[in-house]
Amino acid sequence: MKKILVTGAFGQIGSELVTKLSGLYGSSNVIATDIKEKNQLDGPFEIIDVTDKQRLHDVAKKYEVDTIMHLAALLSATAEKDPMKAWNINMGGLVNALEVARELDLQFFTPSSIGSFGPSTPKDNTPQDTLQRPTTMYGVNKVAGELLCDYYHERFGLDTRGVRFPGLISYETLPGGGTTDYAVEIYYEAVKNKAYTSFIGEGTKMDMMYMPDALNAIVDLMEAEPSELEHRNAFNITAFSAAPEDFAASIQKFIPEFELSYDVDPNRQAIAESWPNQIDPTVAENEWGFKTNYDLDKMTKDMLEKVKDK
């Protein structure tokens, strides 16, 4: 991994991943791409609509990249509002990116998600290899994506790798249209109003992770020796499992007056309830040394400081 093209570079993950990769590999070796230009970057930027395969091919070729990190996708709640659009962007974009990787022989990363699991998946300590029958379009896209990435590895020998991300919490760029977005909003509202009304109900546990741990996971997985990897697409990873009241209790350690209330959104609640409470990341730990630095309270302390600064 020496020269990397990132799609969806201005999204929640992309905006921080580009900075991280630039620090590690040099900013001229990270080609940020997105559907429109937002802010000025140190390194190269190109507009790419991932449903345009030729454009993706041309940009990858122009910069002679050796790796694609394909992040452009619609999240779970947005996908449910327009399932066909989600299919076209999530599946169309992925197969285009995989085809470009095949044509130019590139290493490949794309994230899967806890959304790739469904109501029939074991909810606690969800194993790496288990039932995946999701009931959302996003989940269908993620499972199909995992299978497609494994297929490109088996069939064409492509070096494809992925993780199943939990809800990601970060302060640089807001997530858009995800079911786990409440876990980001709660920090902004805690700083602004010392109160938050959650659209996810009390007691609804989901896996979560602070962005610095997520970025380390991507780099560690991509740098792992291929011979160490028995699995590829995609590894269970998580930092902790939490419900809204767990975030509130953690925030109250720093802002004692903080108050949590609920106004549950039935659509996003149904999605959350179809996902696991807590997945088991042991296989990722064993195969490529996955680890995290942030638990809930350590993350809360950092998030509150960073959001305040903003």
- What residue ranges bind ligand SER (CB under 6 A)? 75-76, 113-115, 138, 165, 167, 178-180
Look up 151 and say whether it is catalytic.
no
Closest CB 56 distance from ligand SER, rounded Å: 23
For ligand SER, which is the closer residue by CB, 69 or 114? Answer: 114
Copy the structure tokens of residue 43.
């390194």
Q: Minimal CB distance to ligand SER: which residue? A: 178
Q: SS3 for 286? A: helix
Looking at beta carbons only, is 238 or 250 nearer to ligand SER?
238
How far lies 264's CA from each of 192, 195, 204, 261, 272, in Å?
21, 16, 11, 10, 11
CB closer to ligand SER out of 13 and 98:
13
**Looking at the DSSP assignment, which residues form a beta bridge with residue 165?**
113
Minimal distance in Å, beta carbon 69 to ligand SER?
16
Rounded to 10 deg, the angle between the 211-223 and 14-25 helix axes is: 50
Which uninterrupted H or E stretch holds 304?
helix 296-309
Please identify which of the residues 25, 63, 138, 152 carries the catalytic annotation. 138
Q: CB of 234 within 8 A of CB of 116?
A: yes
Q: What's the token pair of residue 126?
A: 């969800």
**CB nearer ligand SER, residue 178 or residue 281:** 178
CB of 178 to ligand SER, least distance (A): 3
In angstroms, give the least distance from the CB of 143 to ligand SER. 13
Query: Measured between alpha carbons, how far is 241 from 13 in angstroms, rounded to an integer?
Result: 20
* Residues identified as active-site: 138
